[in-house]
Structure 1
Amino acid sequence: MIKVTRLKSQDRELVLNAELIETIEETPDTVITLTNGKKLIVEESMDEIVHRVMDYRRALYRNLR
């Protein structure tokens, strides 16, 4: 799970299941497309999302050892 901030929304912060991310693009806003087709527009950059997902997965695998 990673924490992201919705762009221009009242409920700004949310926790996203990183395993559901299909694509991330900057158009110039960062758009995350999930495997179910839902799209989220967030404040974080594409690079920041990628780093958060990598950190999340590292933490998961570290706990498996």
Structure 2
Amino acid sequence: MITLTRLNGKTFTLNAIYIEQVEAFPDTTITLTNGKKIVVRESVKDVVELVQNFYRQISILGFPRDVEGLDRE
């Protein structure tokens, strides 16, 4: 799960696995796999970084969580 901020300032958590695409229109718009769109304050770059970190935490990017000393960036 990632924590994001709606345009009205309220935060919420989103299961990043359901993100299909992230675009700037100019506000950052996240399209989910079910077609729903969510507009957030975070930049596209910030959302991508949050998603990548989430995938690392659940080991989707191929890096075991307990490997130390491995440069993951």
- TM-score, normalised on structure 1? 0.88
**Gap runs ≥5 in structure 2:** 68-73
Larger radius of gyration: 2
**Gap runs ≥5 in structure 1:** none
Q: Identify which of 35, 53, 57 aligns with 1:59.
A: 57
More helix by share: 1
Divergent runs of 4+, >6 A: none
Deviation per residue, 1:5-55 (Å, 9 max, x gap): 01126xx11000000000100011000000011100000000000000000
Aligned residues: 63
- TM-score, normalised on structure 2? 0.79
Higher normalized contact order (CA 8 Å, seq sep 6+, divided by chain length): 1
Q: Percent identity?
A: 44
The alignment yields a C-alpha RMSD, in angstroms, of 1.6
